[in-house]
Copies of this chain bind each other. A is one copy, B any other.
Amino acid sequence: MKKRDHFQRLNVDHLLRNHKLPEPVFVARPTMPKLADYCEKLTGIWERRWLTNDGQLHRELEHRLAEYLGVDHLALFCNGAIALMVALQTLRIDGGEVITTPFTFPATAHVLHWNRIRPVFCDIEANTFNLDANRIEQLISPETKAILPVHVYGTPCNVEAIRKVADSHGLRVIYDAAHAFGVRYKGQSVLTHGDLSMLSFHATKLFTTGEGGALVCQSEAQKKRIDFLKNFGIADEETVIGPGINGKMSEFQAALGLLQLDMVDEEIANRRNLAKSYQNGLKDIAGISFLKDVPDVQHNYAYFPILVDEKNYGINRDELFALLKLFNVHPRKYFYPLCSHFSCYSSLPSADPARLPLAERVARQVLCLPIYGTLENGIVETICNILMKIHEEHYLE
Contacts and interface: CB of A to CB of B under 8 A. Distances in A.
Interface of A: 29-30, 32, 35, 38-39, 42-43, 46, 49-53, 78-82, 85, 105-107, 109-110, 113-114, 116, 202-203, 208, 210-211, 232-234, 237-238, 240-246, 248, 250-253, 256, 332-333, 336-337, 339, 342-344
A288 B85 CA distance: 43
Contact of A234 (B53, B106, B253): B106
A175 to B, nearest CB: 18
A38 B45 CA distance: 12
A109 B116 CA distance: 17
Contact of A39 (B42, B49, B202, B237): B42
25 contacts: A32-B49, A51-B208, A51-B210, A52-B203, A52-B210, A53-B203, A78-B78, A78-B79, A78-B211, A81-B245, A85-B245, A105-B232, A106-B234, A106-B244, A203-B250, A210-B251, A211-B246, A233-B342, A237-B332, A238-B333, A238-B336, A240-B337, A240-B344, A242-B342, A243-B344
Contacts of A243: 109-110, 113-114, 344
Given A202-B52, A210-B51, A333-B237, A110 B232 contact: yes
Nearest to A109: B243
B32 A246 contact: no
A50 B332 CA distance: 17
Main secondary structure of the interface of A (DSSP, over half): loop
Nearest to A50: B203
B343 A241 contact: yes
Contact of A42 (B38, B113, B343): B38
A157 B109 CA distance: 38
Contacts of A46: 32, 35
Nearest to A231: B106
Nearest to A332: B237
Contacts of A339: 240
A50 B242 CA distance: 36
Contacts of A241: 343
Contacts of A38: 39, 42
B211 A245 contact: no
Contacts of A78: 78-79, 211
Given A42-B38, A78-B211, A246-B80, A106 B240 contact: yes
Contacts of A32: 46, 49
- For A105, A211, A252, A336, the residue with the greatest tally of chain B CB atoms inside 10 Å of its CB is A211
Contacts of A82: 82, 245-246
A355 to B, nearest CB: 20
A110 to B, nearest CB: 4
A43 B38 CA distance: 11
Nearest to A107: B232
Contacts of A248: 79, 211
A250 B248 CA distance: 14
Nearest to A81: B246
Contacts of A81: 232, 245-246
- For A43, A51, A110, A248, the residue with the greatest tally of chain B CB atoms inside 10 Å of its CB is A51
Given A114-B114, A203-B52, A35 B43 contact: yes
Nearest to A34: B46
Given A46-B35, A210-B251, A244 B110 contact: yes
A182 B53 CA distance: 25
A298 to B, nearest CB: 27
B211 A52 contact: yes
A166 to B, nearest CB: 25
A244 B193 CA distance: 28
